[in-house]
Amino acid sequence: MNAEARTERRLLPMGIQTFSTLREGGYYYVDKTPLIREMTRQGRHYFLSRPRRFGKSLLVDTLQELFEGNESLFRGLDIHPHWDWSVRHPVVRLSFGGDVDTPEDVENHVLNQLYRIERAFDLETLSSARSASQRLENVLYYLHQATGQQVVVLVDEYDRPVLNVLEDGEKARVNRNKLRNLYSVLKDAEEHIRFVFVTGITIFSKTSFSSGLNNLDDISLYPPLATICGYTDYDLDTVFAPELEGLDRDEIRRWYNGYNWLGEERLYNPHDILHLFKRRKFQEHWFQSGGPGYLYRLLMEKRVNPMQLENRVVDASLVSKFELDTFSSEALLFQSGYLTITEEEEQDSHTLYHLDYPNFEVQSSFNKGLAEHLTGRGREVATAGRDMVEALGANDFSLFREKVQTLFAEIPHSWHNSGGLGHYESWYASLLYMGFKTTRVEVKAEEASSHGRSDMVLLHEGQVFVLEFKMVKDKTETEQGLDSAIKQIRGKGYAEKYRGRGEPVHLIGMVFGDRTLLEMRVEAL
């Protein structure tokens, strides 16, 4: 998209979602118009799902300027010589950003936006329409009549009124039905519409919004348009080349690269990259802009083990749609940007997706936040994670044991008594997992071998650590538990696949009980 690297520094478009501001204000801009040209050439009705702060609103604004024929803004961009600038389409743009939580909010929000459009085109006599749906229907008809051109409809954050109240199923359904009535106007007004583009975070199934949206072409997982939002490595090395000086390029990739919607290139969230270039620090920029509290609550309600999020293999249909009453945690985590596709696999007549964290920022911050939600000690879990990893790297297993015991001692007794981590055997392993996942160590949870699955494997400082966990009800069973753990690692060959690495391999049996680590045994393979 960008033929050569820039040599001059420009302004960073921090939080700017207005195309004209970017083009006229001397800001960096990644030319997305080759993909826009391809999209507008091939079809007329599109839907795109992307996580928050990924550039959806800027894309919508770019489309508005394009269809309104504002030629000067596109000079020098790929699309300029390929567009008919003599044609100007009226645009109806609806956005549901902000606090739109009730059907009344939805109604008033739409009416206010339509009123401004009516004023702009001298269509004020339409204000007698009783509902937002009737008003939209009239606006589409009369704009077509008044201008002689079909209308372009752009809807940004179409699902916000539902997501805002997702934890209240009844409210979510009422808002969905309200939106369904509104969107049904679009299909019925086909003769008056030139182009429709709808964005959101979730990919609600077409039946959720009935006829309103079922004629849209969902390009959320369409490889040719996979990079229509976000930055690629090429974009960083060309458009943003002046900003790279003094920053470790590999660290940029490790921290922020990795999002994939089945294209050949992995993507960066623009919010991360722009904040990195401004602050010159590797931090949790995207995560700090809005935590996923509702996702943590959903995972706990569904009793999803945190270790099960790693390298998840699911049917493609589970992540490419969203139903209010039957949605999967994988769908919401993927569509919200906390998991991404790492591999596509065809199995019989099914397509399977391998899901994992897109990058270190999401992996670390998500697990730290989840630990905070579970225990109220997220910072302590992250600190313990660093301490435990350092102890393992130094082969100081006594210190490692001490740090593990300290971690569990910091969980309030009142929390244990409420039925938290201690309620399930696997939560002890899960807390360790969350601590490790906030660090740079490579962690493999429940990794398969030919005879079973190991509890956890850590690869760190040129060494391999194979961990097996056992729970006992009485301290007198501790030695038996240790024997069982080590015997299981050896007997089921959990470490065999690592022998060929030529690295030291440590077998670690850990026995838990009475809300703590009771004992640990380490053997070399």
**Would you list the DSSP string of 120-138?**
HTT-GGGGG-SSHHHHHHH
Burial of 244 (0-12, 13-18, 19+ CB in 10 A): middle
pLDDT tier at 50, thresholds 50, 70, 90: very high
What is the DSSP code string of 63-103? HHHHHTT-GGGGTTSTTGGGS-TT----EEEEE--S---SH
pLDDT of residue 332: 87
Residue closest to 67 by CA, chosen among 177, 193, 222: 193
Question: What residue ranges in 110-249 does DSSP mark as E strands?
Answer: 151-156, 193-200, 217-218
DSSP 351: E
Mean local confidence (pLDDT), 275-304: 89
Q: Please name which of 14, 20, 27, 107 lies closest in space to residue 70, comparing C-alpha atoms.
A: 20
- Report all structural domains of the chain as residue ranges with CATH numbers, in order of start: 31-225 (3.40.50.300), 293-356 (no CATH), 376-524 (no CATH)
* Predicted confidence (pLDDT) per residue in 189-235, tens digit: 999 999 999 999 888 655 555 455 667 899 999 999 999 999 999 99
What pLDDT digit, counting tens, does each position of 334-392 carry? 999 999 999 999 988 889 999 999 999 999 999 999 988 888 888 889 999 999 999 99
> Cα–Cα distance between 507 and 519 in angstroms, integer?
14
Largest CA distance in the chain: 86
Is beta strand 257-259 parallel, antiparallel or unpaired with respect to 217-218?
Answer: unpaired
Give per-residue pLDDT as tens, 117-175. Answer: 999 998 866 656 678 999 999 999 999 999 999 999 999 999 888 888 888 888 888 88
Nearest one of 317, 221, 315 to 263, comparing CA atoms: 221
Say what the pLDDT of residue 6 is.
Answer: 64
d(CA 161, CA 171): 9
Highest mean pLDDT among 95-109, 325-339, 382-396, 503-517: 382-396
Nearest alpha-carbon partner for 136 in 159, 113, 158, 119: 113
Which pTM was predicted?
0.91
Of the chain, the percentage scoring pLDDT greater than 70 comes to 92
Q: How many residues does the chain have?
A: 525
Mean pLDDT of the chain: 89
